[in-house]
Amino acid sequence: MNTEIEVQSEPLVEDLLRDSVLLAVLERDGLTVDDVKAVIADYHRQIEDRDTVTH
């Protein structure tokens, strides 16, 4: 019996942004990897701004 515990983690965003299926969906929708990165960066800024105001 194997007693090792396998820990699975979520994929990194950078790995997802290299995925051929995701790239095809982005292309179909007229988006780019840079568009997705911009949305993520904007979200991070909003979170930082919110945390700055509440602390």
The answer to whether position 21 is within a domain reads yes
The answer to whether position 3 is within a domain reads no
The answer to whether position 39 is within a domain reads yes
Number of domains, the chain? 1
- For residue 12, pLDDT beyond 80: yes
In this predicted structure, what is the pLDDT of residue 34?
98
| Backbone dihedral region for residue 30 (phi beyond 0: left; psi -120 to 50: alpha; all else: beta) | left
The answer to whether position 6 is within a domain reads no
The range of the structural domain enclosing residue 46 comes to: 13-54
The answer to whether position 24 is within a domain reads yes
**What value does the mean pLDDT take over residues 27-50?**
96
Q: How far is CA 28 from CA 8, 9, 17, 23, in A?
A: 30, 28, 15, 9
pTM: 0.71
The answer to whether position 2 is within a domain reads no
Of the pLDDT bands very low, low, confident and very high (cuts 50, 70, 90), residue 52 is confident
